[in-house]
Amino acid sequence: MASGFFAILDDIGALMDDIAVTSKLATKKTAGILGDDLAVNAEKATGFLSSREIPVLWAITKGSFVNKLIILPVVFLLNFFFPVAIKVLLVLGGFYLAYEGVEKIIEYLFHRKKTSGEVIAESTLEEEEVNSEKSKISSAIKTDFILSLEIVIIALGTVIEKEHPLLTQIIVVSLVAIIATVGVYGIVALIVRMDDAGFFLMRKSGNKGFFSGLGQLLVKALPVVIKILGVVGTIALILVSGGIFHHNIDMVHHWVSDNVPDSWPEQIPQFALGIVFGLAVVLVMTIVSKIISTVKPTKR
């Protein structure tokens, strides 16, 4: 009886060791997409009134957890019964990311509105303010869904390569998904509260000395960080989508291999792919929108 008990403990210890090692490896492999996830979501979670930053970020974080709860079982089931569906989902998600990234560039170049500040302007109508906030939260959660899908699939691919049993696969991929959500949105929370931390340091130090200077630096740095994150987030959307097309569409992969010099960093063709596919989706969406507006009967 005792030997059986210790054998169970030994099996549990071996399982925990496999989980720890594989989780570390899977996290390393998803590091790149986690960086993109951070840049994209930090950009989407900023630009609100100070009093609304944390509530908005919490709403996006809850949406991210819901995304993981949907993605994890679906990915495991599809991987078991219909593996090709995962690649299809990834490519469709790539189209969405490319569209969103290119649309941001077009909006900036041709439809930019002049604003007096970095935060969402307070509307005279409370309903407009709420709708604007809900729209940004919805957009952030949709983008998070695609990036989360990419993270989960990369992590799953890692454990499959190591030929781990199903239980280890489920635990490792779920752990990586949780770490991704907590880590990314924890860092985003720190970024959006930089100015509050700065004002706190200035107040506590009586606007004198090193801590006062540090506080002023944090306050002044926040708008710069937000602008940088906006640019990096847009580039990340395009790069992630281009990487999806490059690695999951055989025709595209072969074309890049045959026409792009090996000495070039892979980010160059991936960025170009994101731009091309994004422009194509924007064009299609514009045409469809024009057709719908033409066919739709005018309200009397």
pLDDT score recorded for residue 230: 73
pLDDT score recorded for residue 116: 44
> What average pLDDT does this structure show over 12-20?
53
Q: Show the tokens assigned to 30.
A: 């998803």
**What is the per-residue pLDDT across 170-229, written as a single tens digit (0 to 9) for each?**
888 888 888 888 877 887 777 777 877 888 888 888 877 888 888 888 888 877 877 787
pLDDT score recorded for residue 125: 43
**What is the per-residue pLDDT across 113-158, written as a single tens digit (0 to 9) for each?**
554 444 444 444 455 555 677 887 888 888 888 878 878 887 777 6
pLDDT score recorded for residue 281: 93
Q: For 193-197, 247-251, 284-288, which range has the lowest pLDDT when averaged over its residues?
A: 193-197
Task: Give the span between the Cα atoms of 19 and 9, in whole angstroms.
Answer: 15
Q: Which residue in this structure is represented by tokens 């985003």?
A: 188
Q: Show the tokens assigned to 282.
A: 């924007």
pLDDT score recorded for residue 39: 66
Beta strands in 123-162 (DSSP E): none
Task: Decide which of 230 and 258 is more confident.
Answer: 258
**pLDDT tops 70 at residue 243:** yes
pLDDT score recorded for residue 20: 59
> What average pLDDT does this structure show over 220-242?
81
Cα angle value 154/140/95 (rounded, 5°): 55
pLDDT score recorded for residue 6: 41
pLDDT score recorded for residue 271: 92
Burial letters for 147-157: b for 16+ Cβ neighbours within 10 Å, e otherwise?
bbbbbbbbbbe
Task: Give the span between the Cα atoms of 176 and 256, in whole angstroms.
Answer: 31
**Residue 284 CB coordination number (10 Å):** 12
Burial letters for 214-235: b for 16+ Cβ neighbours within 10 Å, e otherwise?
ebeebbeebeebbeebbebbbb
Q: Show the tokens assigned to 120.
A: 């969402």
pLDDT score recorded for residue 142: 84
**What is the per-residue pLDDT across 25-81, written as a single tens digit (0 to 9) for each?**
555 555 556 666 666 666 666 666 666 777 888 888 898 899 999 988 988 888 888
Task: Decide which of 114 and 111 is more confident.
Answer: 111
191: left (phi over 0), alpha (psi -120 to 50) or beta: alpha
Contact 145, 67 (CB under 8 A): yes
> What average pLDDT does this structure show over 100-119?
71
pLDDT score recorded for residue 28: 58
Half-sphere exposure of residue 271: CA atoms within 13 angstroms, side-chain side: 9
> Residue 82: phi, psi to the nearest 5?
-150, 70
> What average pLDDT does this structure show over 83-107?
85
